[in-house]
Structure 1
Amino acid sequence: MDIISALQIAIAQLIGPSAIFYALLAIGLNLHFGYAGLLNFGQIAFALLGGYGVGIMAVNYDQPLWLGAIIGIAAAGMLAVVLGLPTLRLRADYLAIVTIAASEILRLVFRSTSTDDFTHSTNGIYAYAGSFFSISPFDNGKQYSFFGVKFLGGDLWSMVVGWIVVGLLCVMVYLLVRSPWGRVLKAVREDEDAARSLGKNAYFYKMQALVLGGCIGGLAGVFNAFATQSINPDFYSTAQTFFAYGALILGGAATVFGPVLGAMLFWFLLAVPDALLRQATSGDDPLLHLSAQQVGAFRYVLLGLAIILMMVFRPQGLLGNKREVQLDA
């Protein structure tokens, strides 16, 4: 069994486009759950609107990618307002129910044949990001190797852009949560009644956090649309939101870098057993007799065990502070 090869594959996933996508999703969720105490189970809906904003404007209306990105992020922000208006004055579970329902409704609407002329239904939208890759300093079809870790030029360009965006967002979140706005937001999370007694409009602050986190989720969808050059409604399932929560749990909620570290670890922990199990099940005399589907499922079992152990022994996550946030709040 080639452990070095498995580690090289895992490192590629650790810093690859998928890790960036989930880092962006988790940063938005961190503003919702970690700093504002909002239970959002539909973060992937914001990413769906961000991605489709790019694809629809580029393919249907022949508009530049930057305009589609702006429209997609703006649509995600508008969705946050629509979801927040009736729910943020109520208990947290109402927001959770509304967001997960809205996420599934949007996915089903976008995959419906009745919207085929607009969303291209289950066929999705493909091959529209040529202008993004045309400015890449890398040869998109060439394979680059760094200490045995291999990337295609297109993925490498996406990673450079993606990690710059992640870094800028981390700086923005760092500045926001240490500003008076951030301190009020955490006060609302800890004791909303006390914050109101001091004259703070808790509803207004929660709405701002919901919109900002939703726009970051929309940005995640924009990045994914650029990096993969494809948008399909079936990708934007509710499971993606819970994967982002898994990353947030691993890294630590209410921390600036926790969502990023969690997303990287999430994909690393998926890639290592996947690579090792595929080696163990290949060849004429395999060590394990598992199908490809069983290998794919088993890696999620191992990841689930890792998250359970994290919840038992370090519920605040790797970078989290136990006094800062409780996952059962």
Structure 2
Amino acid sequence: MDFLRILEQALGELIAPTTAAYALAAIGLNLHFGYTGLLNMGQAGFMLLGAYGFAISTIAGAPFFVALLVAIIAGALFALLLGIPTLKLRGDYLAIVTISAAEIIRMVGRSTVFNEQTGGSSGLTGNSFKETFLGLSPLPDGRSAIGPLEYLNNGSDSWWVRIVAWSVVLIAVLLVWLLTRSPWGRVLKGIREDEDAVRSLGKNVYAYKMQALILGGVAGSVAGVLFVLPRAVQPDSMGRSMTFFIWTILLLGGAATVWGPVIGSMIFFSVYMLLRAGMRSALPDAVSSAQIEQIGGMLVGITLMCLVIFRPQGIFGDKKELSFNVR
């Protein structure tokens, strides 16, 4: 019975809002790294900024779509701020700047100086910013079951959140599919392979890089909104480990592929949940839940290293399209 319950939980992870949020963040990172060759090591910063923009705007009285627009603008401005001083330099400069900027946002968010706006290290409770989103639901109150999965129709952990989250992911997949098959997308791939050759053809490489950085950053900020809809805005939950999880998801599914980030997220969280549940059953009671989480984090790190070394193209990727050479 316990085994069946674990399998049911793993199945639930396939369609969880968190899985959708990470998939959307990985789609944004895919535009950065997979298609353009930009090393963004701070995607969690875009997510946290989007979450703060949405939550603070909602608390201030903004309607849902206005608050969502604030989150999108925040992500775009953040990308612009990071890109202006770095995109004309080597790619590793962007990696240094993004990981530093993401940590700055996290530390500012948990600072007592802005405690009234961000809630400090305690964050912003979900009840303070979810009502405008939940008020849009056309679903009746109560619970509904599809197979072994049963959730509330409305609420933080509900079918409504799942429907919206995965609808946004599917729209993002469609947009990426259209963009990457357009002349604009082919220029991005050319920049990834040899930006000097693209520059020699008269293309403004800097402008294309900035556009890709902004689009991927906006995807990250919207992913941050999806991530906090089932929970609170807590800065320490959106730190460096989140970025590494997103990278693992992208490389697992396959960079420079349309469906790779989505499938990678679903596989990652299902397997991650099975590992944690298995460790709780197999390890002695003396091992605490916090220690199990730490062991899980170490396993994610080992997985990321193995992917980079042995299969950088991921499950669906083409090794010829992916290079870790930074120019």
When the two structures are superposed, what TM-score results if normalisation uses the length of structure 2?
Answer: 0.92
Whether the 8 Å contact between 2:18 and 2:226 is mirrored in structure 1 is no
CA distance in 1, matches of 2:241, 2:226: 19
Structure 1 residues 176, 234: closer, same or farther in 2, change over 3 A?
same
Deviation at 1:289, TM superposition (A): 5.3
Larger CA deviation: 261-270 vs 295-304: 295-304
Deviation at 1:113, TM superposition (A): 0.8
CA distance in 1, matches of 2:124, 2:299: 33
Deviation at 1:222, TM superposition (A): 1.7
Q: Among 266, 269, 272, which residue is 1:270 paired with?
A: 272
In the alignment, does 2:223 pair up with 1:224? no
Matches for 1:155-166 after TM superposition, within 5 Å: 155-166=158-169
Identity of aligned residues (%): 45
Alignment match, 2:179:
176
Helix, strand or coil at the partner of 2:151: strand
Q: Among 188, 191, 195, which residue is 1:192 paired with?
A: 195
Alignment match, 1:239:
241
CA distance in 1, matches of 2:97, 2:308: 26
CA distance in 1, matches of 2:325, 2:277: 34
CA distance in 2, matches of 1:143, 1:274: 28
CA distance in 2, matches of 1:18, 1:110: 21
Larger CA deviation: 118-127 vs 63-72: 118-127
Whether the 8 Å contact between 1:37 and 1:189 is mirrored in structure 2 is yes
Whether the 8 Å contact between 2:312 and 2:322 is mirrored in structure 1 is no
CA distance in 2, matches of 1:8, 1:139: 25
Deviation at 1:214, TM superposition (A): 0.5
Deviation at 1:143, TM superposition (A): 4.9
Alignment match, 1:83:
82
Deviation at 1:302, TM superposition (A): 3.9
Deviation at 1:120, TM superposition (A): 2.2
CA distance in 2, matches of 1:168, 1:317: 23
In the alignment, does 2:251 pair up with 1:254? no
Listed one character per residue, the Cα deviations across residues 181-226 of structure 1 (whole Å, up to 9, x for unaligned) are: 0001110110011001111111110010001101111111122233
Whether the 8 Å contact between 1:248 and 1:262 is mirrored in structure 2 is yes
Whether the 8 Å contact between 1:270 and 1:300 is mirrored in structure 2 is no
Tell me which amino acid in the other structure corresponds to 2:292.
V
Larger CA deviation: 116-125 vs 243-252: 116-125
Alignment match, 2:26:
26
Whether the 8 Å contact between 1:3 and 1:276 is mirrored in structure 2 is no
Helix, strand or coil at the partner of 2:230: helix
Q: Among 308, 314, 319, which residue is 2:316 paired with?
A: 319
When the two structures are superposed, what TM-score results if normalisation uses the length of structure 1?
Answer: 0.91
Structure 1 ranges of 4+ moved more than 6 A:
none
